[in-house]
Copies of this chain bind each other. A is one copy, B any other.
């Protein structure tokens, strides 16, 4: 794959997911930062690339623009097969995708910046109430996710066996996002253990928000 352009924001949890996947696959990109708090993702130039005005987006050498972090990661997994981010068997793939989507379809969508801002403007919610909302929706999904991970013989050092994949990517990005809202991680010993194992790996470390060119 020739060098694509990664449209990103250091603190965006979905951009973080994609950065981990790119690092695991060894795909180098040109990093273009869009400052979400300043609304830079809503510039005309970026909207012409991605009408949704969201990061991440991956702009390929031929001009194709890929949207939605999970779709882009699946594309990477199909075009750069090693190391695989999904198991080979269909049931294993369903398990890993299911765990990943517990974060991607249940927690993150209700806790991202534009939703939290909207709670403040629409309902006059205070910072504390917004933080309670954030923690509530993390707990609603992390509690069953912990059960699923702790009870399954498929769980290994990582969410599924002994190599990191799509579920670990989503888990880590969410755990790091949680730190900004002081989520109590005590009940989630398996999630914590997996997070710590992932953060030993350079691909995860180098993708972290603090290590991006636009980090504040």
Contact = CB atoms under 8 A, between A and B. Distances in A.
Complex copy number for this chain: 2
A52 interface: yes
Contact of A70 (B53, B101, B110, B115): B101
A176 interface: no
Nearest to A96: B71
B98 A68 contact: yes
A51 interface: yes
Contact of A71 (B75, B101, B119): B101
A182 interface: no
A118 B51 CA distance: 30
A68 B147 contact: no
B123 A97 contact: no
Nearest to A57: B98
A74 B102 contact: no
B147 A51 contact: yes
